[in-house]
Amino acid sequence: MTQILTMVAQRLALGLLTLFVVSLIIFLGVELLPGDLTQAILGQAATEETVAAFRKELKLDLPPHERYIAWLGGILQGDLGHSLANKRAITELMGVRLWNTLFLAFISAVISIPLALGLGILAALYRNTLYDRMVNIFTLSSISFPEFFVAYILILVLAVQLGWFPSISNIGEELGFWERVYRSILPALTLTLVVVAHMMRMTRAAIINLMASPYIEMANLKGLPRARVIVKHALPNALAPIINVVVINLAYLVVGVVIVEVVFVYPGLGQLLIDAVRTRDIPVVQATGLFFAAAYILLNLTADVLSILTNPRLLHPR
Partner 1 sequence: MNDDAAITDTPEPLLKMTGLRIEGQADEQWNEIVHGVDVVLHRGEVLGLIGESGAGKSTIGLAAMGYARPGCRLSGGDIVFDGVELRSASENYKRDLRGVRIAYVAQSAAAAFNPAHRLIDQFAEAPVHHGVKSRAEAEADAKDLYRQLQLPYPEQIGYRYPHQVSGGQLQRAMTAMAMSCRPDLIIFDEPTTALDVTTQIEVLAAVKDVVKQFNTAAIYITHDLAVVAQMADRIMVLRYGNLVEEGTADQIINHPKEDYTQRLLAVRTYRKPDADPPSEEPLLRIEDVSASYSGSARVLENIDLEIGRQRTVAVVGESGSGKSTLARVITGLLPPEDGRILFEGEALPPALPQRTREKLRRLQMIYQMPDTALNPRQRLRDIIGRPLTFYLGLTGRKREDRVRELLEMIELEPDDFIDRYPTELSGGQKQRVCIARALAAQPDLIICDEVTSALDQLVAEEILKLLQRLQDELHVSYMFITHDLATVRAISDEIVVMLQGRIVEQGTKNDVLTPPHHDYTDLLLSSVPEMEIGWLDRTLAEREGRRSRGEKVLESADQ
Partner 2 sequence: MQDALRLLRSSPWSARFGMFVVLFYVFMATFAPVLTPYGESEIVAAEYEPWSSEFLLGTDNLGRDMLTRLIYGARNTIGIALVTTVLAFLIGSVTGFLAATLGGWTDQAISRVVDILMAIPQLIFALLILTIVGTAIPVLVVVIAVLDSTRVFRLARAVAMNIVVMDYVEVARLRGEGLWWIMRRELLPNALPPLVAEFGLRFCFVFLLLSALSFLGLGIQPPTADWGSMVRDNATLITFGDFTPILPAASIALLTVGVNFIVDWFLHQTAGLKDE
Residue numbers at the binding site for partner 2 (CB under 8 A): 18, 21-22, 25-26, 29-30, 32-34, 37, 128, 136-137, 140-141, 143-149, 152-153, 155-156, 160-161, 167, 208, 251, 254-255, 258-259, 262-263, 273-274, 277-278, 280, 282, 285, 289, 292-293, 296-297, 300
Judged by CB under 8 A, the residue of 32, 76, 221, 227 near partner 1 is: 221
Q: Rank residues 34 and 317 by Cβ distance to partner 1 and give the closer one.
A: 317
273 binds, among partner 2, partner 1, none (CB under 5 to 8 A by kind): partner 2
Regarding 214 and contact with partner 1 (CB under 8 A), the answer is yes
138 binds, among partner 1, partner 2, none (CB under 5 to 8 A by kind): none
Query: Is the Cβ–Cβ distance between 269 and 101 less than 8 Å?
Result: yes
* Cα separation, 307 vs 309, whole angstroms: 5
Judged by CB under 8 A, the residue of 233, 250, 253, 276 near partner 1 is: 233
**Least spacing, CB of residue 239 vs partner 1, in Å:** 9
Q: Rank residues 180 and 280 by Cβ distance to partner 2 and give the closer one.
A: 280
Q: Which long-range contacts (CB under 8 A, 24 or more apart) does 167-176 make?
A: 167/264, 168/264, 168/265, 169/264, 169/265, 169/266, 170/265, 170/267, 171/100, 171/266, 171/267, 172/267, 173/96
* Cα separation, 92 vs 109, whole angstroms: 26
99 binds, among partner 1, partner 2, none (CB under 5 to 8 A by kind): none
Q: How many residues bind partner 1 (CB under 8 A)?
A: 23
Cα 39 to its chain centre, rounded Å, is 35
Q: Rank residues 176 and 214 by Cβ distance to partner 1 and give the closer one.
A: 214
292 to 47, 228, 317: CA distances (angstroms): 36, 42, 37
Regarding 236 and contact with partner 1 (CB under 8 A), the answer is yes
Q: Rank residues 87 and 318 by Cβ distance to partner 1 and give the closer one.
A: 318
Grouping H, G, I as helix, E, B as strand and the rest as coil, residue 32 is coil
Using only the alpha carbons of the chain, give its radius of gyration: 24
Judged by CB under 8 A, the residue of 3, 213, 231, 255 near partner 1 is: 213
Grouping H, G, I as helix, E, B as strand and the rest as coil, residue 225 is coil
What are φ and ψ of residue 269, in 5° steps?
-65, -35
Q: For residue 211, give the amino acid letter.
A: M
Judged by CB under 8 A, the residue of 34, 78, 163, 223 near partner 1 is: 223
Q: For residue 316, give the amino acid letter.
A: H
Judged by CB under 8 A, the residue of 153, 225, 265, 278 near partner 1 is: 225
Residue 50's H or E segment, with its range, is helix 48-57
Q: Rank residues 113 and 259 by Cβ distance to partner 2 and give the closer one.
A: 259
Judged by CB under 8 A, the residue of 17, 24, 175, 218 near partner 1 is: 218
Q: Rank residues 266 and 292 by Cβ distance to partner 2 and give the closer one.
A: 292
Q: Which residues contact 71 (CB under 8 A, 6 or more apart)?
A: 27, 81, 286
Regarding 318 and contact with partner 1 (CB under 8 A), the answer is yes
Residue 79's H or E segment, with its range, is none
Burial class (CB in 10 A: 0-12, 13-18, 19+), 313: exposed
**Least spacing, CB of residue 198 vs partner 2, in Å:** 12
The site for partner 1 (CB under 8 A) is made up of 212-215, 217-225, 228, 232-233, 236-237, 312-313, 316-318
